[in-house]
Structure 1
Amino acid sequence: MINLVLVVMSAFIIWGFGFENVGWVILVCSIGVLVGFLGLPSYQYCLSSEWVGVDEMSLLMVILCVLVTMISVVSSCKDVKVSELSLVGGFNIVEMVGLVCGGSLLFFQSCSWMDFYFFFEFSLIPTFFLILKWGYRPERLQAASYMIIYTVSSSLPLLMGLVWFWDYVGSDNMLLVSMVSGLSGGNLEWPWLVMSLGFIVKLPVYGVHGWLPKAHVEAPLSGSMLLSGILLKFGGYGMVRFIWFADICFSKYTQLVLVVSMWGGVLSGVICLCQSDLKSLIAYSSIGHMAMSLGGLMTFYGVGKMACVCMLFAHGLCSPILFSLAASCYDICGSRNVLLTKGVLRVFPLFSGLWFLFCVLNMGVPPSLNFYSEIFCVGSLLWGNISFGVLGGMMCFIGGCYCLVLYSLVNHGSPSANVDSYVSLSSRYVYSSIFVMFFLLAGGFFIDMFFL
């Protein structure tokens, strides 16, 4: 499995640094990686070493991290070329992306919750520099500051709680604490609610989401792809791990988080219908999808947890490509305003086809992974309470509405005067999109490999 991942990574890196006409290599390697999912070991959480603990979910998140990093480097052709002359302390943008990927890989495999917390926050540092140095507008300083203030301040209660747990149990090993039920003796309802703020802000849930649209709008393409594909998954993965080793059960406090996240998802979907900026619209759609995944997890049903993991993976591949397509629109039209990018279908039919495919994937068309994750999330919400199921259905319906609106506004109508028909569409965007599309569509036929 690792060899297959390395083959795909090598192919992307070779292609990303100048070799042409190897799109077929990417497709062949994608088939190999997908078949490699059949080789995922079927076991519960176990220790590979003193520092690393893995299970099927950890491996799935590691694979997601590697894939998103590859497509972000390949798609960011303009930033990579400029970065040869744009260094921050000796680092260019590719190395910053590598730092984010390395910190994320260590986070997803940490077996100690203190290491878990350290790498939970570490990836913010290279992301901060990505936004600050390679952002496009002067507001990038405010966006980077918002991200740091929101995430660090909300994770301080999490740090205090984890230190207290370490003193209470005498160990910070997740597997050991889960096996001996070391945290189940006390009342963890209020402490859990306060400590979960660190994960809720990283998702983020509506209400503490103010940093995300700002960060997405001001970040370069690679920064937006990493934020939506990897860093937003920290909150969901952390919540799954924390509930597991702390032995959290359904209570009025978890129900409060469920209600807030579901209503927030509905509101973020309504906001998407009113957005004029492409990157803001995609960012708010991410808030809605993360709310749906958190809702499935907070029902505390096994199918809800499995659907949550599947949605994390599916959204982690779909959303970065939407940001890549938005960057293509900016290259073609010089604007991200949906009213100034009309009529792309007449000028770039292939590009319009990619927009259509990923808009319908984002709204959950069968037999994609997005479809199965949404269906099972709504099913687990219906088992919990019919009111939650209604909210989940509203989120799916509104999601379909804004995806159709997004596609129709960008692609249909008379071509805007801003559309430059002499701009050539980069093959990097096309092959990256086809690569991800294969995973999302073909992955539906191997759904048991993603429902962990």
Structure 2
Amino acid sequence: MLKIIIPTIMLLPLTLLSPPKFIWTNTTTHSLLIATLSLHWLAPTYFPYKDLNHWSGIDQLSSPLLVLSCWLLPLMILASQNHLQHEPLPRKQIFITTLTMVQPFIILAFSTTELMLFYIAFEATLIPTLILITRWGNQPERLSAGIYLLFYTLISSLPLLVAILHLHGQMGTLNLPMLKLTHPTLTNSWANLMCNLALLLAFMVKAPLYGLHLWLPKAHVEAPIAGSMLLAALLLKLGGYGIMRITLFMAPVSDYLSYPFITLALWGALMTSSICLRQTDLKSLIAYSSVSHMGLVIAAAIIQTHWALTGAMILMISHGLTSSMLFCLANTNYERMHSRILILTRGLQPILPLMAIWWLLASLTNMALPPTTNLMAELTIMTALFNWSPPTIILTGMASFLTASYTLFMFLTTQRGTTPPHITSTPTSNTREHLLMTLHITPLLLLILKPELISGIPS
């Protein structure tokens, strides 16, 4: 664990001491080396935990998410180079430092075996994200987006803290392997129900569950590209991971809790997919699609069967890479057109033909076409939901159809049709952007060859 965390922390002095000309090269190369080194976590093991010590351990539920978080740091640095190139050196250094500071907290949150330490790391990720949105956001509304993010997260996480302290008083320990061995007493009392609800609520807001998702489109639209990638690919996964972790050691989730959450999650997948068809803002469209996909993850995590948890895990990893890639593509459009409105940025295929290929690949993975892991995940979740209750196939089937519709709408609007007359000169795509897209799509295509690496079936 320390062989990843210490090099990550050493990125801070590297950023501050690098000569101005080499700041991007040094930080990107260093973080890529860390990402490559983290791949050894994916190696399967016969034991429930790898690298187990008093405060952290890696099991099959956390290893794919840990590798994803290490993989995305160099990609965020790569994606941010263009819009920071005219900024003074101190601003660049603070930006990279802020990005780097999120990483140890995310690694700690995904790998800790102590519930209180998980809570601290879970909350600590909020501060750098807030700095990124409010300091480097594009529009004046970024402050309101930051306030939404702050208050939604803080208000929902206070009950979580109370529930964790109550659990400690009840059980005498907050160690996750111990909690898994000593289930809380099975009572359907209202006190127990409220405690379970408080444990889940903070993660439902972070995931986000439909109805608690209003902070997400605001935060995405106002954030810089690195902030959008961080939110979509990692911070939403903290919510999904938290739900899976908590439900694993809770007693079987009471019907009072599971029915409303599963209903909201599936109805949300349907509603947000419909909202996407009406969106005019490209980033907002991709943000709402995240709510739709994470709805399936929440529904699967609450069912608690092996199939459902496997599907949820694979979908989280696939969605992390896919939505991050879509945000990068939206950003390349924005940097050239200085607008995210779909009507003003249409018909770009004749101008940027190579980018159209990346748009097509990202759209196909978002639609869950074979042979992507997205398809495998969605089929697994649909099967698990159908097994739990056959009528759910209507909701999941419609959500799947609407996902294909809005993705096709997004692709055709941005790439096809007549180019608007105001677009006269456009810079061509460059090697950095193509490398960025390649590093997103390659893992997606390779993982289908060995999906058990990210299936996350807990031992």
Normalised by the length of structure 1, the TM-score is 0.91
Number of the residue aligned with 2:354: 350
5+ unaligned residues in a row in structure 2: which ranges?
A: none
Number of the residue aligned with 1:148: 150
Q: Is residue 62–residue 110 contact of structure 2 (8 Å, CA) maintained in 1?
A: yes
Report the CA distance shift for 1:153/1:408 in structure 2 as closer, same or farther (over 3 A): same
Aligned: 1:119 with 2:107: no
Choose the corresponding residue for 2:263, options 255, 259, 270: 259
Q: Is residue 333–residue 420 contact of structure 1 (8 Å, CA) maintained in 2?
A: no
Q: Mean alpha-carbon deviation: is it higher for 180-189 or for 356-365? A: 180-189
**Structure 1: which amino acid aligns with 2:168?**
W
Aligned: 1:77 with 2:81: yes
Q: Is residue 352–residue 428 contact of structure 2 (8 Å, CA) maintained in 1?
A: no
Aligned: 1:291 with 2:295: yes
Number of the residue aligned with 1:68: 72
Q: Is residue 43–residue 453 contact of structure 2 (8 Å, CA) maintained in 1?
A: no
Shift of 1:386: 1.5
Number of the residue aligned with 1:309: 313
Report the CA distance shift for 1:47/1:353 in structure 2 as closer, same or farther (over 3 A): closer
Number of the residue aligned with 2:455: 451
Choose the corresponding residue for 1:221, options 222, 225, 250: 225
Choose the corresponding residue for 1:39, options 40, 43, 68: 43
Report the CA distance shift for 1:307/1:228 in structure 2 as closer, same or farther (over 3 A): same
**Cα distance in 1 between the residues matched to 2:147 and 2:34:** 39
Q: Is residue 361–residue 368 contact of structure 1 (8 Å, CA) maintained in 2?
A: yes
**Cα distance in 2 between the residues matched to 1:335 and 1:82:** 19
Choose the corresponding residue for 2:132, options 130, 133, 151: 130
Deviations 1:381-420 (A, max 9, x none): 1101112122111111110100000000000011123435
Shift of 1:195: 2.9
Report the CA distance shift for 1:18/1:119 in structure 2 as closer, same or farther (over 3 A): closer
**Cα distance in 2 between the residues matched to 1:104 and 1:34:** 14
**Cα distance in 2 between the residues matched to 1:44 and 1:418:** 59
Number of the residue aligned with 1:329: 333
Number of the residue aligned with 1:98: 100
Number of the residue aligned with 2:168: 166
**Cα distance in 1 between the residues matched to 2:150 and 2:24:** 35
Q: Mean alpha-carbon deviation: is it higher for 325-334 or for 399-408? A: 325-334
Shift of 1:299: 2.0
**Structure 2: which amino acid aligns with 1:193?**
L
Shift of 1:249: 3.2
**Cα distance in 1 between the residues matched to 2:450 and 2:98:** 34
Q: Mean alpha-carbon deviation: is it higher for 396-405 or for 432-441? A: 432-441
Choose the corresponding residue for 2:240, options 210, 215, 236: 236
Deviations 1:351-394 (A, max 9, x none): 01111110110110111111110111111111011121221111
Deviations 1:51-89 (A, max 9, x none): 11220121111101011122111111124435544549x
Report the CA distance shift for 1:352/1:85 in structure 2 as closer, same or farther (over 3 A): same
**Cα distance in 2 between the residues matched to 1:307 and 1:135:** 34
Q: Mean alpha-carbon deviation: is it higher for 348-357 or for 382-391? A: 382-391
Report the CA distance shift for 1:38/1:137 in structure 2 as closer, same or farther (over 3 A): closer
Q: Is residue 42–residue 67 contact of structure 2 (8 Å, CA) maintained in 1?
A: no
**Structure 2: which amino acid aligns with 1:65?**
S
**Structure 1: which amino acid aligns with 2:326?**
L
Number of the residue aligned with 1:139: 141
5+ unaligned residues in a row in structure 1: which ranges?
A: none
Choose the corresponding residue for 1:52, options 52, 56, 62: 56
Deviations 1:289-317 (A, max 9, x none): 00011112222221001100111111111
Q: Is residue 250–residue 299 contact of structure 1 (8 Å, CA) maintained in 2?
A: no
Number of the residue aligned with 1:385: 389
Shift of 1:323: 0.6
Deviations 1:78-110 (A, max 9, x none): 24435544549xx61111111111210111111
Shift of 1:421: 3.7
**Cα distance in 1 between the residues matched to 2:302 and 2:86:** 44
Normalised by the length of structure 2, the TM-score is 0.89
Number of the residue aligned with 2:435: 431
Shift of 1:231: 0.3
Q: Is residue 34–residue 70 contact of structure 2 (8 Å, CA) maintained in 1?
A: no
Q: Is residue 24–residue 77 contact of structure 2 (8 Å, CA) maintained in 1?
A: no
**Cα distance in 1 between the residues matched to 2:353 and 2:34:** 27
Report the CA distance shift for 1:143/1:69 in structure 2 as closer, same or farther (over 3 A): same
Choose the corresponding residue for 1:272, options 264, 269, 276: 276
Number of aligned pairs?
442
Shift of 1:46: 6.3
DSSP-derived class of the 1:319 partner? helix
Aligned: 1:110 with 2:112: yes
**Structure 1: which amino acid aligns with 2:279?**
Q
**Structure 1: which amino acid aligns with 2:278?**
C
**Cα distance in 2 between the residues matched to 1:16 and 1:346:** 35
**Cα distance in 1 between the residues matched to 2:152 and 2:4:** 38
**Cα distance in 1 between the residues matched to 2:412 and 2:403:** 14
Q: Mean alpha-carbon deviation: is it higher for 277-286 or for 325-334? A: 325-334
